């Protein structure tokens, strides 16, 4: 995909301290170590908003809310919130399989780069604590849409935890989720919302990113091919 100046529709919030955007799938947050000249989120936004500081990141294939700091002071404040896990992140994930439960917490320690495929793996001895809370949003014949709230920030945490339950993300070939659901070209994970304190005013800043056209279309395709979607209480 050819990336150029980001459209206005990406922007969720902008002021003197921060800029928050709805990152599309397929775009890196930071430079690619193998191809530093390839476009990434920071390189596309800085010509518009000036120097930016990265606070957190999403996988290349994950879409959704990303917040960047516009000053060093704002960066320090936001970094502290992420380090202390006071920033609340909510993801929507389409997983393979139909779940019997409504809510569940996964408390399994994770170790990044834990096998020959460089995956994050559950490691009860050497892994770092990792906790993800899950809630069913909608059930289909072969898939389930779930809300995931990671209380820690381990690499590939949601992907690894879901795979450990035998419920990998749809289209996540690395963790066993099979081929993507059209028109998605990769796995189905979207950073739906982010809530934290504004770095200057300390007021609650609640950011929400709508699904991409591809993510929404994939859900609609699944709904059409299923007999009917099942509500969480069905």
Q: What is the pLDDT of residues 104-148, one digit of tens each?
A: 999 999 999 999 999 999 999 999 999 999 999 999 989 999 999
Is the model's pLDDT at 6 over the cut of 80?
Answer: no
Locate the domains of the chain by residue range.
8-225
59 carries an active-site annotation: yes
Q: Tell me, what's the pLDDT at 1?
A: 56
Q: Tell me, what's the pLDDT at 7?
A: 76
Is the model's pLDDT at 233 over the cut of 90?
Answer: no
If one looks up domain 8-225 in CATH, what number appears? 3.30.2350.10
Is the model's pLDDT at 215 over the cut of 60?
Answer: yes
Measured CA to CA, the distance from residue 199 to residue 16 in angstroms comes to: 10
Supply the mean pLDDT for the chain: 92
Q: Tell me, what's the pLDDT at 234?
A: 40
Measured CA to CA, the distance from residue 187 to residue 143 in angstroms comes to: 13
Helices (H) and strands (E) in the chain, counts: 4, 12
Measured CA to CA, the distance from residue 231 to residue 57 in angstroms comes to: 32
Of 32, 59, 107, 227, the active-site residue reads: 59
């Amino acid at each position: 995909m050819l990336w150029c100046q980001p459209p206005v529709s990406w922007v969720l919030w902008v002021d003197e301290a921060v800029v928050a955007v709805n990152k599309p799938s397929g775009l890196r947050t930071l430079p690619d170590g193998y191809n530093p000249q390839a476009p990434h989120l920071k390189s596309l936004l800085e010509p518009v908003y000036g120097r930016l500081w990265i606070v957190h990141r999403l996988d290349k294939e994950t879409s959704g809310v990303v917040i960047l700091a516009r000053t060093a002071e704002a960066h320090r404040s936001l970094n502290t919130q992420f380090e202390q896990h006071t920033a609340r992140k909510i993801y929507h994930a389409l997983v393979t399989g139909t779940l019997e439960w409504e809510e569940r917490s996964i408390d399994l320690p994770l170790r990044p780069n834990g096998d020959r495929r460089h995956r994050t793996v559950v490691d009860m001895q050497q892994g770092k604590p990792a906790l993800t809370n899950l809630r069913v949003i909608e059930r289909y014949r072969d898939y389930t849409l779930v809300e995931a709230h990671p209380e820690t920030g381990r690499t590939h945490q949601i992907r690894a935890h879901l795979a450990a339950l035998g419920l990998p993300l749809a289209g996540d070939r690395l963790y066993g989720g099979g081929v993507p659901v059209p028109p998605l070209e990769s796995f189905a994970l979207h950073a739906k919302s982010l809530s934290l304190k504004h770095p200057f005013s300390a007021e609650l800043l609640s950011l929400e990113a709508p699904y991409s056209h591809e993510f929404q279309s994939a859900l609609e395709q699944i709904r059409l091919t299923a007999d009917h979607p099942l509500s969480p209480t069905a």
